[in-house]
Amino acid sequence: MSRNPWFETVAEAQRRAKKYLPSSVYGALVAGSERGRTLSDNTDAFAELGFAPRVVGHHAERDLSTTVLGVKSAFPVVISPTGVQAVHPDGEVAVARAAADRGVVMGLSSFASKPVEEVTAANPNTFYQMYWTGSREAMAQRMERARAAGAKALIATLDWSFSNGRDWGSPSIPEKIDFKAALKFAPDVLTRPSWLSKFARSGHIPDLTAPNLQPPGGTAPTFFGAYFEWMQTTPPTWDDVKWMREEWGGPFLLKGVSRVDDAKRAVDAGVSAVSVSNHGGNNLDTTPAAIRLLPPIAEAVGHEVEVLLDGGVRRGGDVAKALALGARAVLIGRAYLWGLAANGEAGVGNVLDILRGGLDSAVLGLGHSSVHELSPDDLYVPEGFTRALGAGK
């Protein structure tokens, strides 16, 4: 008798992903940097926040819907863009389908393993994500391609300092899968026959190229080739952010904001939204958890632009806490990747159902009829919980 493919928590999806994936692939999903303090604080900080539930006055009908950058969403969760998704043959297309089925927005990385055209066909409500990499001409061409494919917003991710080194060791990832790489990784891969057979049945091996960075008439770079270009590109200025926003010409989200002064500069640059994020703990270690950074930023700019949160969300209750502290919506990354590894498209849908169910329970228990009614009054926030970076004295 086969195991029930359904799982009841994101933690269980992670356990299954760890059993299913080759250790190098699983290690790439866990990621983190240095001591992993930010990685753990992103999730642990949510547990420091307590709910203040009501005993009477609950609502039988609850509205979880919202809009993100003008796009309707069944509930306030957005798929965060992540790079090459070699955990499943269908990769980003499977994620996009699951998101579309649940009525939420798909975020697609420019480092993704599937072309933007395939992803927008699977989910018309797709936001395209870009790094500041290559020439302005190349970036303008990539934006035009995403626009032509139907992407409804641009996400600019600029919070990266190329931190490396993990106390628990970094996974070994090849630049491309060739005979030499296959031999090297055979001992790791052969211990995960289910993962290997799924790719074998699909008729292709994991693709470690970035098709969305393919220049006209050229070939798609490998992931590490694209990463090297990114490292060699002169970091952007605020004028570059303004150029990027103007070149895109539509809804524009700046991802990776952790400081109040940066959030204000982003507003001055004309962004539509900011995402409070520390790149999932993969950037400068000991940066505070995203949820600790959210309240001061939401207070400073939330009346001018939409404020989203990305980092550490594992439960629907986490979504409710983020909304109560000023977020319009949250983005999720590792959570859906573990679902994808555990059970493909259905696993991603499973994760989204978990988050929706947990959010609905929180809205019910707090005595509200809509997610838009959530406020700090619904929480116990311990003294000293928030971190107001760049806010002055």
Are the CB atoms for 223 and 175 separated by under 8 Å?
yes
Residue that has been written with the tokens 């819907």 in this structure: 65
Q: Collapsing DSSP states into helix, strand and coil, what is residue 231?
A: helix
Structure token digits, residue 257: 């904001």
What residues contact 285, with CB distance under 8 A and at least 6 apart? 32, 33, 34, 35, 36, 37, 38, 39, 163
Rounded Cα distance between 149 and 356, Å, is 29
Distances (CA, A) of 145 to 119, 148, 237, 290, 384: 13, 5, 24, 32, 46
All residues at 6 or more sequence positions from 93 whose CB lies less than 8 Å from its CB, including other chains? 114, 118, 119, 122
Provide the token pair at 329: 């919506």
| Amino acid (one-letter) located at 142 | R
- Residue 229, CA atoms < 13 Å, CB-side half-sphere: 19
Does the active-site annotation cover 204?
no
- Residues with Cβ within 8 Å of 253's Cβ and at least 6 positions away in sequence, in order, are 69, 127, 153, 154, 155, 156, 271, 272, 273, 274, 275, 306, 308
φ/ψ of 95, rounded to 5, equals -65, -45
Residue of 58, 59, 204, 279 with catalytic role: 279
Cα torsion through 170, 171, 175, 179, rounded to 10: 140
Write phi, then psi, for 73 (nearest 5 degrees): -135, 135
Catalytic sites, residue numbers: 279
